[in-house]
């Protein structure tokens, strides 16, 4: 079980070493990512105790994943539906999931993508109504990609594509505007920030596309990606994210602790 706080690698502002990234991406971990126990569940990177403490997101709006007391579409999505038909978030954005995502996104802990991707695949296997024809990660602008050295959404998408046997295309949608980080902006500014920031090209497989990102807060980024894909001919769109971040001032619903099969 989880007995100590998650320890991330030292912050790395440059590119993650290529060989280290390959090893972290594909080799199964030997110890639990949260408590360091050696008795990991096969291929997962978590011990059974830590896995059972994860904050799974149970009842939520199917269009924005806002936590709700019971399943149903929230009022905001009824008034203004997003440009995709479904958004699936595996978790609440709270410890220890928040720590794992932070380590992946800002500290170069690529191995967390394998763990989070496996957990997302478990949830999607239960909730997915039809298998998409294509997985598209939310792209980074080339300037930010150069600074970070990798795209955390692509790292998650790689594992989802492998686990769910769905083709992956990280080139069909590009971020053509170097936008400010969404985390630094208000909700209204976030919408303006990503307007026309993405450009998608036509290709086969756009009949049903799953857009992948690490977290969703206001949903403006994934909505902008979805609009660009729709303009390129996509007909059926859904969004897969690891965790739902609540906008400021929103009450936090209770997380469901336990295995997804128990929900």
Distance CA 203, CA 208 (A): 12
Rounded mean pLDDT, 100-115: 94
**Own/partner pairs for 183-188, CB < 8 Å, 24+ apart?**
183/217, 187/218, 187/220, 187/247
Residue 221's SS3 state is helix
Model pLDDT for residues 122-171, shown as the tens digit of each residue: 999 999 989 999 999 999 999 999 999 999 999 999 999 999 999 999 99
pLDDT of residue 224: 96
Q: Which of the four pLDDT bands, split at 50, 70 and 90, describes residue 63?
A: very high
Q: Which residues contact 7 (CB under 8 A, 6 or more apart)?
A: none
Residue 31's SS3 state is coil
Distance CA 105, CA 94 (A): 15
Distance CA 56, CA 67 (A): 11
Distance CA 207, CA 134 (A): 8
Which residue ranges make up each domain of the chain?
55-262
Q: For domain 55-262, which CATH number applies: 3.40.50, 1.10.15, 3.50.50, 2.40.50?
A: 3.40.50
C-alpha distances in angstroms, 176 versus 134, 136, 196, 199? 21, 16, 8, 7
């Amino acid at each position: 079980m989880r007995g100590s706080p998650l320890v991330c690698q030292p912050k790395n502002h440059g590119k993650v070493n290529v060989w280290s990234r390959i090893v972290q991406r594909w080799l199964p971990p030997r110890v639990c990512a949260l408590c360091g126990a050696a008795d990991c569940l096969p291929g997962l990177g978590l011990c059974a105790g830590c896995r059972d403490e994860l904050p799974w997101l149970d009842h939520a709006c199917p269009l924005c994943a806002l936590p709700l007391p019971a399943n149903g579409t929230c009022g905001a999505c009824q008034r203004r539906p997003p440009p995709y038909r479904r958004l699936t978030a595996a978790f609440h954005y709270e410890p220890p999931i928040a720590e794992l995502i932070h380590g992946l996104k800002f500290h170069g802990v690529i191995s967390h993508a394998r763990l989070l991707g496996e957990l997302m695949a478990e949830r999607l296997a239960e909730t997915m109504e039809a298998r998409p024809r294509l997985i598209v990660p939310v792209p980074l602008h080339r300037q930010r990609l150069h600074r970070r050295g990798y795209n955390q959404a692509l790292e998650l998408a790689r594992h989802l594509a492998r686990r769910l046997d769905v083709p992956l295309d990280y080139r069909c949608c590009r971020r053509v505007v170097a936008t400010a980080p969404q985390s630094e902006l208000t909700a209204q500014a976030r919408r303006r920030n990503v307007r026309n920031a993405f450009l998608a090209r036509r290709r086969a497989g756009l009949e049903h596309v799953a857009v992948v990102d690490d977290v969703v807060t206001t949903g403006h980024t994934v909505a902008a990606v979805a609009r660009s894909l729709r303009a390129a001919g996509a007909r059926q769109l859904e969004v897969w994210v690891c965790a739902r971040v609540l906008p400021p001032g929103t009450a936090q619903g209770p997380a469901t602790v336990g295995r997804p099969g128990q929900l």
